[in-house]
């Protein structure tokens, strides 16, 4: 039930005669009630809704199940300084990033950002989405040598992260014998790092990436770069592969 009040204005038309005009109406709630409906297995499917979305669902499932490449071996990611999944991921980023910016020298990802592994055999679109389910965009950061030193320290303290273009050894969570692009690391130089926006914005405690000397957007999602990399390999008749090449070695 609703109650209404009408405010009015009056104009004198003639002695004793007034025109009353409503100019505003106020409504107030006099009663409020609700009923809760449970949704469980006893609720039947709405056939009209199913008919509406089913064609889209079928199309999406067909695309996600599409085989785009093959692996020679399972790409795993155990808790080691260097992993097959991490190496493939970082190498693929570097390969695709260099097509956009040839000044890139090394790449950085994080183990936690890689949400699954690749099985041996057929790889589908769905596998790539499961690996990188986020909408992360690739970015290039021009970093001072001091900030690159902080990145290196981060990698060492994490006992290794997915990287490409950089090699280092770790002893007692401290990095040494570091090379970038095949050259010894020089703290007096600047370096171009390819990563993705989550890390570039300081994610995973990488505050040292938040204030680069320059930041360049690649305008390509990481997931799209992976899809393109796999498609290129397949067109060349190659399989998705990776190897442990000693890019990160932790001394025992």
What gap in Å lies between CA 194 and CA 92, rounded to an integer?
A: 11
pTM comes to 0.80
Residue 116 has which token pair?
């699954």
The full set of domains in the chain, from first to last, is 68-250 (3.90.780.10)
Cα distances from 81 to residues 22, 78, 208, in angstroms, run 78, 9, 21
pLDDT confidence of residue 135: 94
Pairing between strand 166-171 and 248-250? parallel
The full DSSP string for 87-98 is: HHHHHHHHHHHH
Mean pLDDT, 10 residues at a time, the chain of 252 residues: 46 53 69 80 75 82 94 93 97 97 97 95 97 96 98 97 98 96 98 98 96 96 98 97 96 84
Alpha helices in 136-209 (DSSP H): 145-157, 197-200
Cβ–Cβ under 8 Å, residues 190 and 142:
yes
pLDDT confidence of residue 20: 53
10 forms beta bridges with 20
pLDDT confidence of residue 60: 85
């Amino acid at each position: 039930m609703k109650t209404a009040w009408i405010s009015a204005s009056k104009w004198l038309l003639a002695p004793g005669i007034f025109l009353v005009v409503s100019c505003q109406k106020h409504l107030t709630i006099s009663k409020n009630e609700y009923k809760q409906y449970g949704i469980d297995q006893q609720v039947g499917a709405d056939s009209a809704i199913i008919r509406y979305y089913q064609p889209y669902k079928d199309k999406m499932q067909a695309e996600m199940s599409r085989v785009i490449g093959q692996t020679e071996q399972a790409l795993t990611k155990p808790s080691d300084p260097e992993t097959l999944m991490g190496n493939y991921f970082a190498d693929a980023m570097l390969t695709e990033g260099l097509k956009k910016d040839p000044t890139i020298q090394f790449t950085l990802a994080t183990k936690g950002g890689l949400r699954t592994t690749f099985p041996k055999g057929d790889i589908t679109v769905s596998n790539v989405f499961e690996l990188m389910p986020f909408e992360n965009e690739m970015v290039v950061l021009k970093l001072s040598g001091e900030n690159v030193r902080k990145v290196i320290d981060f990698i060492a303290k994490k006992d290794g992260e997915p990287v490409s273009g950089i090699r280092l050894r770790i002893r007692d969570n401290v990095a040494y014998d570091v090379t970038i692009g095949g050259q010894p690391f020089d703290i007096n130089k600047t370096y171009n790092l390819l990563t993705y926006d989550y890390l570039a914005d300081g994610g995973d405690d990488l505050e040292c990436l938040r204030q680069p000397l320059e930041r360049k957007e690649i305008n390509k999602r990481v997931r799209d770069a992976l899809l393109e990399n796999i498609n290129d390999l397949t067109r060349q008749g190659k399989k998705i592969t990776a190897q442990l090449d000693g890019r990160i070695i932790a001394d025992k």
